[in-house]
């Protein structure tokens, strides 16, 4: 009897989830379930793989192992990541990659192109380190954690990282907006940290623009399938620049990325069916 009750309950829950997951309108169950799947898969893979990273701790190539597995979460969401001009990222040299930041799904997008970049060290806030086992796995994979409340300490850590970047021809990935941007119509102002590092190390800046996540809206609990274009822009050299040039450099990069972001927004939104419930607010 208990077995039959268990089967019946499981079937009811399964039916309820399937019904909600197929809903394209506002749906709290689908919204949180989708993010829960991403976090669960990340934690599970991290728990299984971190001991392997101990063979070569803090080696940035470790991250590629986890990325090869976790990038397949994309199939569950039916998301399509389309990388353009990826050859720019694949060149064997140190560089600072900067991109816009819209959601924790940015990480999933990075997983899908990580192998193209090859040697890559991501920058993350220190709080993520304490989200174990993911934080431990990320640390052993070469992710650099900084304390944003301690500007001097963070800058010192990034300087050490920049030395490794130049010596080992490793790229650093930074989100210069500093926080998730929920306004899909524009980019937030850029903080200067990434640009200071690039100028100090005299390495190029590679702007990378993610098209807006028109399929996600936290306030309305929308999380649908979607198409994301990841556009790589031509590297911007910093050789010969000094810290006095950083403000102009920030404006130059922000202006270029803003133009591309608006073009990509128009492209992906115009390609949607007339009845698609897209959003311009994350």
User: Given this model, what pLDDT does residue 155 score?
Assistant: 63
Tokens linked to 152: 């001097």
Beta bridge partners of 121: 172
The domains located in the chain, with CATH, are 2-270 (3.40.1130)
- Per-residue HEC secondary structure of 172-229 comes to EEECCCCCCCCECCCCCCCCCHHHHHHHHHCCCEEEEEECCCCCEECCCCEECCEEEE
User: Given this model, what pLDDT does residue 6 score?
Assistant: 47
Res 157 pLDDT > 60: yes
User: Given this model, what pLDDT does residue 3 score?
Assistant: 57
Distance CA(164)–CA(130), nearest Å, equals 24
Question: 88: part of which helix (H) or strand (E)?
Answer: helix 87-90
Distance CA(88)–CA(108), nearest Å, equals 20
Whether omega before 133 lies within 30 degrees of 0, making that bond cis, reads yes
Task: Record the pTM.
Answer: 0.87
Distance CA(95)–CA(106), nearest Å, equals 19
pLDDT in tens, 188-238: 999 998 999 899 889 999 999 999 999 999 888 999 999 999 999 999 999
Please state which of the ranges 41-45, 77-81, 147-151, 179-183 shows the lowest mean pLDDT: 147-151
**163 against 53, higher pLDDT:** 53
> Residue 33: which residues within 8 A CB-CB, separation 6 or more?
17, 20, 21
> Residue 154: which residues within 8 A CB-CB, separation 6 or more?
146, 147, 148, 193
**133 against 147, higher pLDDT:** 133
What count of Cα atoms within 13 Å lies in the side-chain half-sphere of residue 131? 14
Distance CA(37)–CA(213), nearest Å, equals 18
pLDDT in tens, 18-30: 555 565 667 888 8
Alpha-carbon distances, residue 43 vs 66, 124, 156 (angstroms): 11, 17, 30
């Amino acid at each position: 009897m208990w077995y039959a009750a268990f089967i019946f309950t499981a079937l009811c829950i399964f039916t309820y989830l399937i019904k909600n997951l197929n809903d394209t309108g506002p749906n709290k169950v689908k919204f949180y379930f989708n993010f829960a799947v991403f976090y669960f898969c990340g934690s599970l893979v991290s728990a299984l793989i971190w001991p392997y990273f101990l063979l070569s701790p803090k080696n940035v190539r470790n991250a590629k192992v986890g990325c090869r597995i976790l990038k397949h979460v994309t199939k569950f969401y039916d998301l399509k990541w389309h990388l353009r001009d990826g050859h720019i990222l694949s060149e064997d040299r140190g560089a600072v990659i900067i991109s816009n930041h819209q959601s924790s799904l940015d990480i999933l997008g990075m997983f899908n192109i990580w192998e193209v970049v090859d040697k890559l060290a991501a920058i993350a806030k220190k709080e993520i380190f304490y989200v174990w086992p993911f934080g431990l796995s990320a640390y052993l994979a070469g992710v650099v954690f900084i304390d944003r409340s301690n500007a001097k300490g963070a800058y010192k850590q990034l300087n050490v990282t920049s030395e490794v970047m130049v010596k080992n021809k490793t790229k650093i990935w930074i989100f210069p907006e500093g926080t998730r941007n929920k306004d899909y119509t524009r980019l937030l102002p850029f903080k200067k940290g990434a640009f200071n590092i690039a100028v100090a190390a005299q390495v190029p800046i590679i702007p990378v623009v993610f098209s807006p996540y028109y399929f996600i809206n936290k306030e309305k609990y929308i999380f649908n399938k979607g198409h994301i274009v990841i556009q790589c822009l031509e590297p911007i050299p910093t050789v010969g620049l000094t810290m006095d040039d950083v403000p102009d450099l920030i404006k130059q990069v922000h202006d270029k990325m803003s133009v591309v972001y608006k073009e990509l927004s128009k492209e992906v939104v115009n390609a949607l069916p007339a009845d698609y419930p897209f959003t311009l607010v994350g």
